[in-house]
Amino acid sequence: MSTVKSSVNQVSLISDFKEITKMRLSLSVVFSALAGYLLGAIEVDVNTLVLLAFGGYFMVGASNAFNQIIEKDLDVLMDRTKNRPIPAGRMSVQSAFIIATIFTILGLTVLYIINERTAMYGAISIFIYTCVYTPLKTKTPLSVFVGAIPGAIPFMLGWVAARNDFGIEPGTLFALQFFWQFPHFWAIGWFLFEDYEKGGFYMLPTRKRDKGTAVQTIMYTIWMILVSIVPVFGITGDLKLSIVAAIVVLLLGLVMLYYAFELFKKRTAKAAKQLMLASVIYISLIQIVYVADKFIR
């Protein structure tokens, strides 16, 4: 009986660890960073890839753990978060803080082994997410603008890890993922509107599910599309895109724009959920197309 109980506790500990570090989100961020590295690498170094994967995971995991410590009292109020380890009472704040601190130290150390700039941008990301974005979420919809900065760093971080330099190329990757954040987060803020309201979070630009929010979602999607095809014009240094890849990238962007217009027309939770799913698929495919185009070209 005690063996069964102990194995159940182990499973619970593992699932709580996954949840406090938001494993799925962290892995998607690692994917972005690795894509950025492959784009920037003159010669792919497997050791650097592994270090970037672990360092990226530690940094995002730390940010998420700190976020859940700060928002523990608000998480209790919302259906989507009330079963998280801290509000549900399965993990103490002290344990979460220890995990977050260890992850921060490990993350910065691993990224520093790659190069100093990578560690610096990793540190900036964790600071903005934890100390600026998280407190602003209950104060102003501008929090999404602030949150889009650390959210856009991973794609750029990969290039910096490869080149130890910041220029037009990582800047373009940053801008692409920065503009993408808005339709993505506003779609989530739309279909989880009531739940966010319980916690006092203001995610939508007008604080309402109205035409104003839908119009801004369309505008940022258009900016995202424009940035995504800029490399085809040969003005972004070593970051290049063939005409075929640019057409594919444009078509993917237009699919996402279609769902943004659907949200404008219908203004329903279902339309918002479709836009959110389209945005998740879009960012993964864009990164795959960029990387594939570099190695096929």
**pLDDT averaged over the chain?**
90
Q: Is the pLDDT of residue 92 over 90?
A: no
Cut 0.95: pTM above it: no
Mean pLDDT of all residues in 244-249: 96
Tokens for 212, please give them: 């104003």
* C-alpha to C-alpha distances, 138 to 66, 85, 196, 206, 221, nearest whole angstrom: 16, 21, 10, 14, 25
Tell the residue number behind the tokens 């998740």, with chain if given: 280
Helix (H, G, I), strand (E, B) or coil at 44: coil
Angle at 245 between CA 262 and CA 178, to 5 degrees: 55
DSSP 264-292: HHH--HHHHHHHHHHHHHHHHHHHHHHHH
Q: Is the pLDDT of residue 158 over 60?
A: yes
Looking at per-residue pLDDT, the higher value among 10 and 183 belongs to 183
Mean pLDDT of all residues in 57-61: 92
Half-sphere exposure of 192 (CA within 13 A, CB side): 19
Q: Is the pLDDT of residue 6 over 70?
A: no
Distance between CA atoms of residues 218 and 224, nearest Å: 10
Tokens for 98, please give them: 């220890």
Q: Is the pLDDT of residue 228 over 60?
A: yes
pLDDT at 195: 85
Check if the beta carbon of residue 78 is closer than 8 Å to that of residue 199: yes
Looking at per-residue pLDDT, the higher value among 231 and 143 belongs to 231
Q: Is the pLDDT of residue 202 over 60?
A: yes
What topology is assigned to 1-165 in CATH?
Tetracycline Repressor; domain 2 (1.10.357)
pLDDT band at 278 (very low <50, low <70, confident <90, very high): very high
Which is nearest to 172 in space by CA: 160, 162, 164, 161? Answer: 160
